[in-house]
Amino acid sequence: MAFISVFDVLGPNMIGPSSSHTAGTAVIAYLAHKMIAGPIKQVEFILYGSFSKTYKGHGTDRALLGGIMGFGTDDTRIRDSFSIAKERGLEYHFTINETETDIYPNTVDIMMTNEAGQTMTVRGESLGGGKVRIVRINGVEVDFTGEYSAIIVVHQDKPGVVAHITKCLSDRNANIAFMRLFRESRGHTAYTIVESDDHLPENIVESLKENSNVHDVMVIQS
């Protein structure tokens, strides 16, 4: 089991009322906003399970919207995220899905469109105590928590890409904690997720993109 810190017990510092329905959802949306380039123009949240029933009373909607705007779990602006989103010209919608029940109870899909017109869909699960898991990116099943600094490399499923990724990391002396590859199907789009204990060097993005099979790179610092 991972190290349990005293601040996992006395924490997170958070906007209430619920670590799973408020803090956890802010974290999921925060991670999602880090995965798309530039400002987000439009966002739709699809709420499943327990979220679909009690989201208003738990402020889940405000927390999600706050996270998308980059607010942390302890940011008091979460309360006013509707009005802040309006000021920023961010268009948002909440949709309830009560028909799909064969799904983890605290699940949300986040569909984002940025100013360049790019779209991205991220699915997250809130596990309790503010802990979360990102389980899907653009329909591909993935698995990471955001507790470590992470690089997400979107690439063609071709030989040599993983070797290129590890070389870029070792060239910068970055230590890999976990590394996993997820793919749609053989030869199609794949996602390699590298998690590291250390702060990741920002300039790694350019060198990763030097390989022609790499489509996109996202860096999420812990």
Partner 1 sequence: MDFKNAKELLKLCEEQHMQISEVMRQRECDMGETTCDIIDHKMRRVLEIMRNSATQPIKTPVRSMGGLIGGEAKKLDVHRARGESICGGVLGRAIMYSMAVLEVNATMGLIVAAPTAGSSGVVPGLLLALQEEYHISDERILDALMTAGAIGYLAMNNATVAGAVGGCQAEVGVASAMAAAAAVELMGGRPSQCLDAASTVLMNMLGLVCDPVAGLVEYPCQNRNAAGVANALTAAELALSEVPQLIPLDEMIDTMYTVGKKLPSELRETAQGGCATTPSACALCAQCF
Footprint on this chain of partner 1 (rule: CB under 8 A) = 1, 3-19, 22-23, 50, 53-54, 56-59, 62, 74, 76, 78-79, 128-130
Helix 81-88 with 60-68: angle, nearest 10 deg: 40
| Least distance to partner 1, CB of residue 6, Å | 4
**By CB neighbour count within 10 A (0-12 exposed, 13-18 middle, 19+ buried), where does 159 fall?**
exposed
Residue with Cβ nearer partner 1 (104 or 178): 104
Q: Distance (Å, rounded) from C-alpha 37 to C-alpha 113?
A: 10
Residue with Cβ nearer partner 1 (102 or 210): 102
Helix 24-34 with 60-68: angle, nearest 10 deg: 30
| Least distance to partner 1, CB of residue 8, Å | 7
| Least distance to partner 1, CB of residue 167, Å | 27
**CA dihedral angle for residue 168, residue 174, residue 177, residue 182, rounded to 10 degrees:** -20
| Least distance to partner 1, CB of residue 199, Å | 14
| 97 in Cβ contact with 107 (< 8 Å) | no
Residue with Cβ nearer partner 1 (15 or 108): 15
Q: Distance (Å, rounded) from C-alpha 157 to C-alpha 159?
A: 7
Residue with Cβ nearer partner 1 (49 or 124): 49
Beta bridge partner(s), residue 113: 42, 119
| Least distance to partner 1, CB of residue 124, Å | 17
Residue with Cβ nearer partner 1 (1 or 38): 1
Beta bridge partner(s), residue 9: none
